[in-house]
Structure 1
Amino acid sequence: MHGMTSADPELADHRILADTLTAERPLHALVNALHGISAAPVAVIDLRGGVLVSVPARTEWPAEELVAASPPTGDVVADCVLRPVELEGEPVAVLCARGQDVPPALFSFAATLAGIELSRRHAVLSGRRELLGQILEDVIAGQSSEQETARRLGEHGLDAGKAHEVVIGSVACPPRRLRSYPWNLHTLLSQQHDPHLRAIVDDRVVLVVPEGAGLFVARLCHDHLSSLGSDARVGVSKARVGVRGLRLGYFEARNALAEGYGVHVHRIQDLATALLIAGIEAGLPLRDLAAEALAPLLEYDQKHGTALVDTLRRYLAEDGAPAATATALFVHRNTLRNRLRLIEELTGRDIDSPSSRTHFWLATTCWELGSTADLSSLLDGRGPQ
């Protein structure tokens, strides 16, 4: 019978820690086992100062001071020893133990196991985000039916029948870092979906959030991206309903993103600007943008049975000539004058300014073209079929 060696207890302790990865809550089991072996209070703290796991649970930790020492140098900080917990080579948390009773080799092994568990959970969420990214790309390109896309989005927890805002973030960093950054370790540990739908599209972070949450989430997104690069920028769309609303929201957020560094919210877009974007942005929903530009007139026509949109279209077709327009519409010139004044009041635009003429011509033309409205059909001068 072989005698017991000093390495045997150490090997047994390593096995105890390794076995925790098969537990229902591996990270909690790991910290609990390390505490059981050493009797020292143990915790995992993310780099934002959030205590992810602590045993005993009521232990107070100087989280900010401990995180400030990350990545740990091996020195004792606030009577705690530290080890970095890494995810794909990037420190994302700190393993802490109070006192110096944990064997260094065992402590380092525990930090490695913690990183393995976070990597496993992150891989699961990354797979979900890849699938969501494919769905969002289909939404942007308009390649799937609204019903089918709504069903696929529903599988990811998004009800397309409710209003949502789109948030897009961009930063100059290697795509691998953008895709691997976990953002929310609590999400990893809870083994649930992201609190908001998040995917990577064209090397940009795209989030779909409930109405009213866009600006708050955008600021959090900017904070996260700023840790990856100094040129972080985030754009936020208006709140919109449905699959088409998400599509338009994506382009609104992209437009806001182009305003520069920091966080920017979509502003009402001039259709001439949209046309320039359409020249380089495939799939820009010009008809949806036209509907937004004409919304005050469309709503008024629907409510009062008027024909303001038709009046505007004919006025532009007659090159702004009141007499010719009135004749074409079979109305008195005073009636036409009242309609034009109402159009200006509802839209807030001077109908005879050159920029407004361009804006309104694009809006009415794209509206007539319907779902076929794109840059080529607009320039070809094709009317409604």
Structure 2
Amino acid sequence: MAGKRVRVLVIDDSALIRKLMTEILGADPGIEVVGTASDPFIARDRIKQLDPDVLTLDVEMPRMDGLTFLGNLMRLRPMPVVMVSTLTMAGAQVTLDALALGAVDFVAKPQLDVARGLGDYAAALVAKVKQAAHARVSVRRPTAVAPGEYSGPVGYRTTDRLLAIGASAGGTEAIREVLARMPADAPATVIAQHIPAAFSGAFAERLNKHSRMTVLEAREDQPLLVGHAYVAPGGRHLRVVRSGARWHAQLCDDDPVRGHRPSVDVLFDSVARHAGGNASAALLTGMGDDGARGLLGLRKAGAHTIAQDKATSVVWGMPGAAVALGAAADVLPLDEIADRLLASASAPRPSAAKAPAPAAVIASDRSPRD
């Protein structure tokens, strides 16, 4: 896509939203809105005629809902899709369903009142559409979770190990797959995923249904227990603090870091400070570089660090930035990350490294999309 404008098809039943999104996207010199569609049947024909690079897709539309259309699209002609969602509980459930079907990312419905933040919305929409054009798109298939089938190491009944995971675009499904491979007694796990406040509770509930661990949205001063995973609430930073023999969750409303709250760097920095070599961390698919510096700090503190590889990342922005910094001890396909986290949690703790060694890149037979 280097040097080429991203060709976008806007699909929404609202004429006002189609007009607004066309103006926002068309104002960027790197984007060309090649057409619009008011329902999936019109969209189907325009995809064939216009061959866009990216779709923006609403959910509630006449004649066929957006999820049905997305499922058909990802089965017959997989391509990058950015969902346009409402910031409601119902909107959260539908958006998470869309991400499970293969959508790259999502944005909230635009506020039509400029005074309420249209500028911020426009910047997010443009950035996500541009990044989606480079995303690796594939049909998602759920990871089976059946009690008793886990074959990896078990026996983590201890409070002296901690796992940390960070992600952004593509991360809701990547985190689900990692947690689905964990045993019920895995070390306490803290998670920072870039997600709005209205969505994080539904995200934690969904993860809980697909994991042997108990998955919760983190609460202030909550003890971090074995067999539990804690998701940072949308719009709040999550930190880990030590209190006696236990770690606790600490939530705060400090300013966003590199545009994000929760920030992966904020979480990883706190884990490096309070857990150090007792921690293992993974940075998964995502846009930008949040978490890369935090992963480097963890590695220097003696933690075992992992970055998801390019071939299995929807967007190799955050893990790619970590690899470039030398922050990752291992670069692994998504389906190997859980086992590596568990193995490192059972290994003797190394001393803090003065300078990171080159990452051990594990080859994958899956071809990345450049």
Q: Which has the higher contact order (CA 8 A, sep 6+)?
A: 2
Name the larger-Rg structure. 1
> TM-score under structure 2 normalisation?
0.23
Q: Say which structure is richer in helix.
A: 1
> TM-score under structure 1 normalisation?
0.22
Q: Say which structure is richer in strand.
A: 2
